[in-house]
């Protein structure tokens, strides 16, 4: 006897343990998925690779004579720094809009100091490297006039002589640091050996390399080769610049570093000494492009913000927010609800209350259940062929909504049926016995208690509609502007997310959109639960 109870008790413990495991596993997965999306939705973590180091100077020495030059932009441009390559693109006219650089939809206007001026020549030599300016550029003789112009035009960028900087009224324009220093190495450092190859370095690693804390390339992801830092003599302005930028005011280069006096000496050493690493201006390194080490810059900042919710998308979604997309999604939900709920509930009522149980019903039920399981993309295809093409409704709100309605109708009918069937027969009997008609009985004593169940089913179906992507791509289109009428193409949140990722527009924005989607689902589910709970409590409350 006792043996048996022990066995039973052990089995119970095992079962309980497995249940616990399953629950924790499920919750774990949920937290992992939702948590990750929310995390990346709120905090963007961007990693980019550049040819120049992370830090820049407000005053950069340009040209052979090392003329101090400062870059200024209009206050409206939201940019923290620029690389020399980006500067060149702007001044060459390769970028007509600040777009991805500053995530703003502002046109670029470039202004330069005329050739013949010291700064003008230095800039043209160092940054442009002999290539021509854009045709839309405007030249100035005086620094003051240039600054005035830049201050007055949103999106304007220009440069002035570094000496002028002190007298500059900082309130008018913003001075942008320019990142112009590259890291160059001995070719062997970048070799592939033993399955290892140095791909990029980050700021922390650079600091460790030049201060001598790290002595072998292996420690920073490269091959097994001792590091040999090279720097210029202490009198060189570039050297001082690099030292303060990378190592800090009080630190010095590694003890065993090689010291050179000129650029040519630097490259002689780099080419002859295995493991050597040095630095120089980007424009000077262009002839030795293969030897520039890529620098990884990591930007962690707030991703989603109120602006994202309130602004419209611009420039293919590169810039701006998702306000119109949210509204389009709302339109889609409301219209779908309008079509699917009455039809679904009426069908369920008919099936449970009026229809004679027989073969026809069995066929209908089989059809409904099968439809409920068909992949949504098939519905999309059908919707495209039927609503968009055959009925000539075109790609727009109405075609998309009708397609989604067809998709979720079986689910709504099924859950409504279950909810209605769950209403106790005694309510019906009581109502009929009082002389009510069948219709009155349904409306007054069957549907009200069934409402929580019906509502739950409707909300679940809507949840599926919100997440629908493929079907809507074919039938509702991708226009991110606010839908104007029933035939307008309109993009919803899921479709927007898909496009952002597929077209490689912005992973950060995709995560932000995903966060909004999750928030919408959470809100919808939470409100439904509260509503259903309140209804159920009112109906069955014990006093």
| Contacts with other proteins, 171-190, as mask; x by CB under 8 A | --------------------
Cβ proximity to other proteins, 290 vs 357, nearer residue:
357
Q: What does the alpha-carbon distance between residue 214 and residue 208 come to, in Å, rounded to a whole number? A: 5
Which residues, in sequence order, are bridge partners of residue 193? 196
Nearest to 468 by CA among 311, 328, 299: 328
Which residues, in sequence order, are bridge partners of residue 539? none
Which residues, in sequence order, are bridge partners of residue 140? 113
CB of 477 to other proteins, least distance (A): 46
What burial letters (b/e) apply to 338-364, b meaning 16+ CB within 10 Å?
ebbbeebbebbbebbeeeeeeeeeeee
Stretch that binds other proteins, among 97-105, 330-338, 428-436, 523-531 (CB under 8 A): 428-436
33-62 residues in contact with other proteins (CB under 8 A) are none
CB of 341 to other proteins, least distance (A): 22
CB hemisphere CA count around 279 (13 angstroms): 29
Which residues, in sequence order, are bridge partners of residue 297? 48
Give the largest Cα separation in the chain, rounded.
Answer: 108
Strand-pair category, 109-113 with 156-161: parallel
E strand or H helix at 251 = none
For 372, the token pair is 């409920």
Cβ proximity to other proteins, 132 vs 361, nearer residue:
361
Cβ proximity to other proteins, 340 vs 445, nearer residue:
445
Residue from 99, 449, 452, 453 in contact with other proteins (CB under 8 A) = 449
What is the CA 449 to chain-centroid distance, rounded?
Answer: 44
CB of 354 to other proteins, least distance (A): 12
Stretch that binds other proteins, among 89-97, 117-125, 440-448, 525-533 (CB under 8 A): 440-448
Residue from 434, 503, 529, 530 in contact with other proteins (CB under 8 A) = 434
CB of 356 to other proteins, least distance (A): 7
Q: Interface with other proteins includes 359 (CB under 8 A)? A: no
Q: Interface with other proteins includes 444 (CB under 8 A)? A: yes
Q: What does the alpha-carbon distance between residue 21 and residue 193 come to, in Å, rounded to a whole number? A: 45
Other C-beta atoms lying within 10 Å of the C-beta of residue 372: 16
Nearest to 509 by CA among 255, 319, 248: 319
Residue from 437, 464, 522, 526 in contact with other proteins (CB under 8 A) = 437
Residue from 171, 301, 356, 392 in contact with other proteins (CB under 8 A) = 356
Name the CA radius of gyration of the chain, rounded: 34
Q: What does the alpha-carbon distance between residue 456 and residue 441 come to, in Å, rounded to a whole number? A: 22
CB of 424 to other proteins, least distance (A): 8
Q: Are 491 and 479 in contact (CB under 8 A)?
A: yes
Q: Interface with other proteins includes 448 (CB under 8 A)? A: yes
For 532, the token pair is 């259903």
Q: Interface with other proteins includes 451 (CB under 8 A)? A: no
For 146, the token pair is 């240039």
CB of 512 to other proteins, least distance (A): 45
Q: 537: which residues sit within 8 A by CB, 6+ positions away?
A: none
CB of 429 to other proteins, least distance (A): 7
Stretch that binds other proteins, among 152-160, 262-270, 298-306, 433-441 (CB under 8 A): 433-441
Q: What does the alpha-carbon distance between residue 269 and residue 28 come to, in Å, rounded to a whole number? A: 55
Residue from 126, 411, 445, 489 in contact with other proteins (CB under 8 A) = 445
Cβ proximity to other proteins, 449 vs 453, nearer residue:
449
CB of 359 to other proteins, least distance (A): 15
Q: What does the alpha-carbon distance between residue 137 and residue 152 come to, in Å, rounded to a whole number? A: 16
503-542 residues in contact with other proteins (CB under 8 A) are 538-542
Cβ proximity to other proteins, 130 vs 435, nearer residue:
435
CB of 528 to other proteins, least distance (A): 20
Residue from 432, 501, 521, 531 in contact with other proteins (CB under 8 A) = 432
Nearest to 315 by CA among 507, 511, 480, 514: 480
Q: What are phi and psi of 537, to 5 degrees?
A: -65, -40
Cβ proximity to other proteins, 11 vs 537, nearer residue:
537
Residue from 141, 424, 503, 534 in contact with other proteins (CB under 8 A) = 424
CB of 453 to other proteins, least distance (A): 13
What burial letters (b/e) apply to 463-502, b meaning 16+ CB within 10 Å?
bebbebbbbbbbbbbbbbeebeeeebbbbbbbbbbbbbbe
CB of 542 to other proteins, least distance (A): 5
User: Which residue ranges make up the site for other proteins (CB under 8 A)?
Assistant: 356-357, 424, 426-437, 440, 444-445, 448-449, 538-543
């Amino acid at each position: 006897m006792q043996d048996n109870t022990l066995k039973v008790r052990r089995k119970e413990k095992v079962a309980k343990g497995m249940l616990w495991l399953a629950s924790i596993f499920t919750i774990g997965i949920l937290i992992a998925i939702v948590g990750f999306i929310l995390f990346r939705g709120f905090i963007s973590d961007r990693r980019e690779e550049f040819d120049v180091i992370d830090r820049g100077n407000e005053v950069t020495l340009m040209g052979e004579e090392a003329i101090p030059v400062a870059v200024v932009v209009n206050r409206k441009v939201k940019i923290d720094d620029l690389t020399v390559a980006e500067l060149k693109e702007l001044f060459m006219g390769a970028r007509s809009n600040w777009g991805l650089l500053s995530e703003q939809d502002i046109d670029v206007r470039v202004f330069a100091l005329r050739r013949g001026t010291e700064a003008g020549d230095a800039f043209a030599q160092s940054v442009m490297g002999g290539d021509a300016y854009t045709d839309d550029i405007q030249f100035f003789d005086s620094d003051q006039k240039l600054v005035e112009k830049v201050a007055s035009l949103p999106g304007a960028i220009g440069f002035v002589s570094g000496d002028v900087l002190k007298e500059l009224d900082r309130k008018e324009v913003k001075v942008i640091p320019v990142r112009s220093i590259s890291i160059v190495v001995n070719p062997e450092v970048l070799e592939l050996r033993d399955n290892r190859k140095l791909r990029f370095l980050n700021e922390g690693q650079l600091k460790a390399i030049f201060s001598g804390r790290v002595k072998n390339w292996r420690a920073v992801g490269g091959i097994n080769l001792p590091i040999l830092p090279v720097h210029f003599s202490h009198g060189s302005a570039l050297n001082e610049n690099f030292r303060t930028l990378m190592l800090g005011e009080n630190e010095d280069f590694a003890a065993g570093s090689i010291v050179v006096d000129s650029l040519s000496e630097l490259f002689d050493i780099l080419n002859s000494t295995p493991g050597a690493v040095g630095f120089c201006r980007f424009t000077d390194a262009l002839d030795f492009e293969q030897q520039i080490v890529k620098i990884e810059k990591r930007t962690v900042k707030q991703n989603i913000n109120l602006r994202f919710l309130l602004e419209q998308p611009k420039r293919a979604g590169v810039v701006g927010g998702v306000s119109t997309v949210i509204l389009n999604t709302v339109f889609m939900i409301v219209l779908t609800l309008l079509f699917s709920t009455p039809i679904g509930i009426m069908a369920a009522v008919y099936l449970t209350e009026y229809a004679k149980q027989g073969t026809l019903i069995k066929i209908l039920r089989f059809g409904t259940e099968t439809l409920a399981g068909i992949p949504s993309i098939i519905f999309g295809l059908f919707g495209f062929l039927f609503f968009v093409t055959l009925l000539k409704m075109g790609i727009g709100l109405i075609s998309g909504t009708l397609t989604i309605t067809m998709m979720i109708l079986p689910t709504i009918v099924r859950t409504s049926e279950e909810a209605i069937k769950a209403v106790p027969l005694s309510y019906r009997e009581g109502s009929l016995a009082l002389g009510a008609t069948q219709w009155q009985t349904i409306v007054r004593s069957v549907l009200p208690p069934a409402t929580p169940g019906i509502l739950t089913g409707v909300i679940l179906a809507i949840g599926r509609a919100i997440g629908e992507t493929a079907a809507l791509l074919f039938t509702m289109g991708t226009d991110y502007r606010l839908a104007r009428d029933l035939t307008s193409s309109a993009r919803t949140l899921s479709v927007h997310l898909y496009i952002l990722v597929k077209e490689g527009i912005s992973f950060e924005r995709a995560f932000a959109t995903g966060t909004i989607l999750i928030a919408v689902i959470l809100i919808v589910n939470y409100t439904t639960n509260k509503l259903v709970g309140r209804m159920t409590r009112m109906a069955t409350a014990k006093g």
